[in-house]
Structure 1
């Protein structure tokens, strides 16, 4: 599962990283607690260049009767996304990248649930593999939504959770975004656990459990086993 992550760099840095020439995103500030239901930054390809925009996190298939189904579709399993009716069409032609520089998972301990921050050892930005879709209501309202693909955990994440988000290498990003690429076997081969020797994990404050909290202190490392105030 992936239910929270961070994007702590500036809009300008994001545009340079993904070779974005211009964007309609009006404003972006560092985010320390990105949560389902929020509008999140996403990169797609229009066939000739990358575009940066916002999608609502919680996938709503184009044929859905009610957009509330998105609350149950924040993640899609990499093993079945290519064939599952809800995601099959998007897997073929509506793939996106969700920029992030860490994600959170909750580890079960004798003291309760301990939130852990997982990131690249370099601290660099990375891309989560996602799918997107646009849902249109009977009244003509359009909602563009997304989901994050998950896979089996690597050796760093396994002690924390039984799933982890799919992190794509920079070399894989262009393949994933290419709308002309519909080789299911090739695309599925990208959806593997990220190498564990490139990741690190450390405990953070339980305050991250409250979506209203969004501040730099959330990513600070806490002492293992330290009892903090629950928000």
Structure 2
């Protein structure tokens, strides 16, 4: 499951590209810190975009924690979308890449091989997520997963739900069934690079 991502986009780039949705984007907590993050991990704060008061006609960008405590205190950082009707608490997690890990090709290696996935033709994209309020950590989000597409299947048995710009507005609209959007990507949608 995805437990690390990167976001290196600037605030101006986020605003410009978001304008394509024609949904006003507000910053109720002020402009977020958009310093490049080469590694966003479970429990780290990062930006999310969500509908204002559950509506799809205005969006807000806020910084929230990745994962909330689940059963037994284990973090809920990925959540299966399969067969679920997910309407409440939808959010988008802007990233430029996410990482998966495999057994090392070198049996003497101490760490797993690390692979970076990027959406071809896009400087950045969004992962579909859900946010909720937790009594312990406050508002937090999780990334949704689905069956893997052909680009991910050689590396992992699941993939995060990747949404290109043409799907962002739909994801924030709770009237659009989540099953229509939580789908694996077609072959050739993602580039993969070994980074370790």
Point out where structure 2 has 5 or more consecutive residues left out of the alignment: none
Match of 2:34 in 1: 28
The structure with the greater share of residues assigned to helix is 1
Give the Cα separation in 2 of the matches to 1:26 and 1:126.
Answer: 18
Question: 1:56: how far off?
Answer: 0.8
Match of 2:11 in 1: 11
Q: Could you state the TM-score of these two structures normalised by the residue count of structure 1? A: 0.72
Change (3 A) 1:60 1:134: farther
Change (3 A) 1:60 1:81: farther
1:97 to 92, 101, 107: 92
**Number of residue-to-residue matches in the alignment:** 183
Which of 1 and 2 has higher RCO (CA within 8 Å, sep 6+)? Answer: 2
Match of 1:174 in 2: 169
Change (3 A) 1:131 1:60: farther
- The 5 Å alignment of 1:137-148 reads 143-148=138-143
Give the Cα separation in 1 of the matches to 2:31 and 2:139.
Answer: 14
Q: Could you state the TM-score of these two structures normalised by the residue count of structure 2? A: 0.84
Contact 1:108 1:160 in 2 (8 A): no
Point out where structure 1 has 5 or more consecutive residues left out of the alignment: 83-90, 206-231
Match of 2:121 in 1: 122
Whether 2:76 is the aligned partner of 1:73: answer yes
Question: 1:33: how far off?
Answer: 0.5
Superposed CA RMSD in Å reads 2.2
Contact 1:60 1:134 in 2 (8 A): no
Change (3 A) 1:21 1:134: same
